[in-house]
Amino acid sequence: MSGVSGMLEGRRASRGRLITLEGIEGAGKSTVAVALREALESRGIEVCLTREPGGTPLAERVRALVLGHGEEPLAPQAELLLMFAARRIHVDNLIRPALERGQWVLCDRFTDATRAYQGGGRGMPADFIETLAGAVHPDVNPDLTLLLDLPVALGLSRAAGRRGVPDRFESEDVAFFERVRARYLELGRAQARFAVIDASRPLATVTADAVAALGRVLQA
């Protein structure tokens, strides 16, 4: 076995990579995710594109609970635990099996969203979030995280243009999203697995930068 076919065989036999996409509302994650999938597939890599909260039928039911405006109050801690409950289901039933088959998983949000929204936005303690992350997915962590960063006002105006009834997060005020963005940027600065991409530029430019950032994991 040699050349390209040898490389592909090697890739299939080894564990896949987990690539996550993060950012506030209106950052363009969904469009970028589709472009990344195409870029990976064009290199012969099998891709599983998924999202959080959700990604499996059961985890999508948890998503509906946590995003919907229910009849009862949902304390920040309950919201945090529901995010991790959905994540545990998703990791066990979809992400880990896909990685073990050698597929690359492209996930629209993962635990950094919890760090940013429940940690930064809601003020839940970072050490509690890390304890839960360590218990829920000790063996499954992103190889690369693309943070699509843009000013809150721009993100919210883009998101408002395309949505129906705002969900529990979309109903939050600007100050909430400023805290979320600030926490994302802190994480992006602190950890080498992040590529921070300026998402205020035209989507084609953002997408090109995101595809270029894949080079880090393609060469690894």
Q: List contacts with ligand TMP (CB under 6 A).
A: 51-53, 67, 83, 109, 113-114, 117-118, 169
To ligand TMP, the closest distance from the beta carbon of 2 in angstroms equals 42
22 or 45: CB nearest ligand TMP: 22
Name the minimum Å distance from CB 154 to ligand TMP: 16
Q: In whole angstroms, give the CA distance from residue 108 to residue 211.
A: 15
Residue 170 CB, nearest approach to ligand TMP (Å): 6
Nearer to ligand TMP, 17 or 109 (CB): 109
Task: Kindly state the smallest distance separating residue 103's Cβ from ligand TMP, in Å.
Answer: 20
Name the residue nearer to ligand TMP (CB basis): 176 or 208.
Answer: 176
In this structure, what token pair is assigned to residue 161? 């243009």
Please give the C-alpha separations between residue 144 and each of 10, 46, 134, 167, 210, in angstroms, as whole numbers: 20, 17, 18, 28, 11
Structure tokens at 37: 């999938």
**Closer of 7 and 64 to ligand TMP (Cβ):** 64
Residue 147 CB, nearest approach to ligand TMP (Å): 13
Between 76 and 102, CB nearer to ligand TMP: 76
